Structure formats: structure tokens, C-alpha cells
Chain A
Amino acid sequence: MKTLLFSTVSEFFKQRAGMFFVLIGILFGFLSGREHYAFASFFLTDQFGMLYLFVIWALYAIFCIHFLLNLWKQPAYHFVYQTRLWNAARRFFRFGMVTLGFLQPLLYYGIYMLSVALQANLLNRIWPVFIFYMILIPALVVCAEWRIRNPRLFVNKKQAISKWQIPRPNSWIYWSLEWLMREKGVTLLVCKTGSAIVFVCTLIYYQTDTYDLRLPAIGLSLAYLLNIGLSYELFQWESVVLLWNRSLPLSINKRFGRMILIHALVILPETLICFRYHVLTLTEIAQLYLLGLSILLLFHTYLYRKNGLLEDTMQPVLIGFVVLTLLILYKIPVLLIAVSGIFYSWYVFQKWYSGKNQKN
């Protein structure tokens, strides 16, 4: 059961992380709570609201079915056909659990709609949601059952929807981001969701009274710091997955530049949330962005010193954050802290990258 869930549902969220990443960005970054409420009210009150909702949910369910049917054709998933040895009741129950895993976003949204219906006294309009569940959940179970009754064990690897393919850019940055999306989707989702939530909370709190830049500086530093999981994965990408890349003739400065650029791109999405709330000026956003970048660069550089041992870096991260908070509270300019952090990480990167810290 656990194997089935991990190998199928986790794989779905991992491989589709990019899509969920964009969706989360839109839903939690750019739509305010009021707009979410308005959407839910529309579905509950409009004459065709529930029909629209069903169409959206059905499209998502088809998307899941398409993924499931194709995934179980893969040679690595031949073990799934062992499920035919289970009795029917057990198989339907377990496929049902897998289905619930796939449909998690719909279940969560259903709960949200229920709470909106409760608040707006519209409980009498919520019943179609349960009908939708009763249609969509069995639909996925039936499709899973169909697949294991109709195994297709040959996959044409060259098969493609279209013969026209966009060539992959010859870019290390692009490959790194593609790797994050494809292979580290769950980490990407968790880090970005966490960071986006802290961002939104900080910005909402900031607009409740008159504060200076120190408040968002501390709040957004913490939000940016939640990207250290991604920074660690990027270290693994360079030091384990494609270690051989280190043998390519690139100067240390170019490697550092690449590190800056990729981290700058990684923390860009949550930074864009600032523009949605209109509580910070462009200069302030730029300062905070640089501060976030410097925090991540310091962390990433430190990984080279510790040869990527994550547990050895946690204590310095905690101490570093406390020191940073104190610096901000004592009104050291944010820009000065940011630039100093970037400069220091450049300085130590020269030593730690090629092991110059080791005694000759």
C-alpha cells in the first residue's frame, strides 16, 4: 500500500511539481483571501457555478488518469501488476486510497468551500460537491483497474505527440533549474510554499501599522532562508549528480557568478509577491531581495567548506539568523548587510571551492 502510494502519488506530485508550483504561486501569491472567497461564493451561488466547478475538477481528474495510465506502462512499474493477486475488495480499497492521494487538491478545496458555505449560510448549495467526489473517485479507481487488467508492457521510447521538439538550451543554469523541477519537485514545492506563506504573512502584518524596513527585513530573511533546502539540492546537483562538471575549464569567478544567478532565479518567484501588496517601494524590494540572495549565498558557500554535510550547517544557520536579526534591529542598513554578505561569500568561495582551506 505504502509502496503504491509512494511510487505513484509521490511520483505524480514530483513530476508535475512545476505545474503545482505555478498554481500555488498564483493562488497564494497573487490572489488575495477576498478573491478566493469571491470565487467560492460564485461556485456556490451562480446558476452554472457548480457546473463550472465540475468541469474544472473533471479536467484535473482526466489529467491524473492520463498520468496514471502512462506511468504504469513504464518498465519500472511492472511490479504494479502484482496487485492482480489481491482480492477485489482489497484492490478497490487500495486503489481508492491512491485516488484520494491524486485528488488531494480537490479534497482540500472542497473543505474550503464547505467552510465558505457555512459562513455564508449556503449549506444547501454544497451538496453537488459530494456528488462530484462520488463520480471522480470511482472514475480513477476504474481506470487503475483497467490498466492492470490491460497491461501494456512495451513502451516506444521515441514516441512523441509531435515531431517538433524545442531544443534544450545549452545552459548550465537552465539544466540546473530543469533538474530541480524534474528530480526535486517535492523539495521545490515545500520550500516555495513555505517561503510564499511567510512572505504573505509578513507583508500582511507590515501593512497593519507603521513600521520601518526592519520588520520586513527580518520576516523576509526568514522566508528566503526557507530556500536552503533548494540551495542544498543545487549543491548536490553540482557535487554529486554532475560532479564531472567540475573538471570543465571554468574560472572560479564564473562558477561563483553562476551560483549567484541561479540563486537569484530561485528566490525570484516569492519576491514578486511584494508587488501584489504595494506596501514596499521598488528600492526596498531590491534591498530585501539582495539580502535574501546574500543569505543563501553564504549558506551555499558554507556547504563547500563542510563538504555538503547538511547537519553540520544547521547550527551556523541558526546562529547566523540570530546575528542577522540583531544587526537589522540595531539599524545596520539592509543594503550594507546584503552587499557585505555577497562579498564575503565570494571571498571564501575562492578558498573553499578548490580546497585551499586544506593545509598544503
Chain B
Amino acid sequence: MVLEVTKLKQQYGANEVLHMESWKIGYGIYWIQGENGAGKSTLFRTLAGMLPYSGSVVLDGKYDLKQNQTDYLLRLNLGEAEPLYPSFLTPTDLISFVAEAKKSPAGQADMLIEALGINYLKNPFGSCSSGMVKKVSLALAFLGDPSVIILDEPLITIDQEARTALFEIIKTYHANGVTFMLSSHQLFQQEGLTVSGSFVLKNKSLQSIPVL
């Protein structure tokens, strides 16, 4: 199994948001659905190690998020739905910082920058539109050598060229063994992606639904 979740609980104060007894996925591209506020972003943030949780999350059958945090986070990347970065930083600052942390191979960052059309590398985020910030967040999500990439609403605010480039990158990475978890209110199939499975986040847990 690529990703295995057991007895995962997540709560904000007294409000329980996630309660997943057991959930696992193998290699593939998975579409995660759910209505607004269902907890998709919270689930993704939890899987990305951004929020404290109870339970167990294991990657590639051996990397436990709590026990082997560094190894785990080296292999799981998250592109957030509505990324926010400090207004004084520039895309160059952030991309080079994350590339170093994720041990990105030489040339990878430049490839992503060119593919996604990030031609505003020296502009502080404070002067970037939401689409410009989103493209940087997508580039960050592909840095390093991940085995799972989670993209939370990857299509919002980006232009058509970036959208086309994004699907090409997803196909290339997937062909190289990367598993994707995609959340979107739009369909992916017309973009040529073969979705392995679909899940809906309902009643604090992921439930399998037929692939459309």
C-alpha cells in the first residue's frame, strides 16, 4: 500500500472533523470529493504533517508520519487549495528554499518554473494575483522525489496554459510511479487522466464511490 491510515482522528477543540477507522490506497490517481466544509483540506493538511492528530498514517508501508517524520515528509507533497505565503517573499525565495528542503534534483525547479509559466520570480507575493500564487504552490508540490502528491483544488484560478501544463506534469510524474490524490469539483477524465478510484469525504470519513 502506498498510503495507509488507521484510526485517524482530527478535531478542532471539541469539534471532531475526521474519524477514519481504516483507509488505504495503492499506486494510482485518486479523486477525493466532498462538499464544502466536509474536511478535505483538513484531511490533506493532516496527511501532510501540518496538523497534530491521533492515529497512524504510514507511507509506502514503512514511513510512519509520527515515527519517521522526515522520511515521510520527504515523500509526500501537498499543493494547497488557497495557498498563502508571506507578502515580502518572492517565488524565487520560496522555490529555492523548498527545493533544498525536498532535496530536489538539479534542473527540476527550472523545469517546473518554465512549464507552469512562472515568469514573475522576483515579484513579492504581495504583488501577485491569486493565480500567480497558485502556480507557485503547484510548482512547490512537484519538487523533490515524492511518492504521493496531494493537490487540493489544483485548477482554481490558474489560466488555460498552466492547466494544460499541469496535466502533462501529472501524467509524467504518474508514469514515474507517483500516486496522486486530487480534490476538485471539476472532472479530470477529459484531460486524459485515468482515475483509479474515487472517494467522498462524508461523515468524517472517506467512502469509496464508483469512478465516473
Residues of A at the B interface (CB closer than 8 Å) are 157-158, 168, 170, 172, 175, 178-179, 182-183, 241-244, 246-252, 304, 307, 352-356, 358-360
Contacts and interface: CB of A to CB of B under 8 A. Distances in A.
A249 B70 contact: yes
A242 B52 contact: no
Contacts of A170: 93, 96-97, 100
Contacts of A358: 9, 52-54
A177 to B, nearest CB: 12
Contacts of B71: 249
Contacts of B89: 168, 175
Nearest to B50: A246
Contacts of B55: 360
Interface in B8-62: 9, 45, 48-56
Contact of A248 (B56, B83, B102): B102
Contacts of A241: 84, 86
Given A170-B97, A244-B78, A358-B9, 7 more contacts: A175-B89, A242-B85, A250-B101, A304-B52, A355-B51, A358-B54, A360-B55
Contacts of B86: 175, 179, 183, 241-242
B116 interface: no
B200 to A, nearest CB: 24
Contacts of A252: 69
Nearest to B6: A360
Interface of B: 7, 9, 45, 48-56, 65-66, 69-74, 76-78, 80, 83-86, 88-90, 93, 96-98, 100-103, 123, 127
A179 B49 CA distance: 23
Contacts of B103: 249
A244 B101 contact: no
A259 B174 CA distance: 37
Nearest to A182: B88
The 4 closest A-B pairs by CB, nearest first: A355-B52, A249-B73, A247-B48, A358-B54
Contact of B70 (A250, A304, A356): A250
B129 to A, nearest CB: 12
Given A170-B96, A358-B53, A244 B83 contact: yes
21 contacts: A157-B123, A168-B93, A172-B97, A175-B86, A175-B93, A183-B86, A244-B48, A244-B80, A247-B50, A247-B77, A247-B78, A248-B73, A249-B70, A249-B73, A250-B101, A354-B66, A354-B69, A355-B53, A358-B52, A360-B7, A360-B55
Contacts, number: 84
Contacts of A172: 97
Nearest to B66: A354
Contacts of A359: 54
A243 B93 contact: no
A172 B101 CA distance: 11
A157 B71 CA distance: 40
A360 to B, nearest CB: 5
B180 to A, nearest CB: 16
Nearest to A169: B93
A355 B48 CA distance: 14
A170 B98 CA distance: 10
A185 to B, nearest CB: 12
A354 B83 CA distance: 22
Contacts of B9: 358
Contacts of A356: 66
B69 A251 contact: yes
Contacts of B84: 241
Given A248-B98, A249-B71, A249-B102, A354 B52 contact: yes
A33 B7 CA distance: 64
Nearest to B71: A249
A336 B80 CA distance: 44
A157 to B, nearest CB: 5
A20 to B, nearest CB: 18
A244 B49 CA distance: 9
Contacts of A178: 88
Nearest to B137: A244
Nearest to A360: B54
Contacts of B52: 304, 307, 352-355, 358
Q: Which of A251, A304, A352, A354 has the most CB of B within 10 A?
A: A354
Contacts of B65: 354
Q: Which of B49, B52, B78, B127 has the most CB of A within 10 A?
A: B52
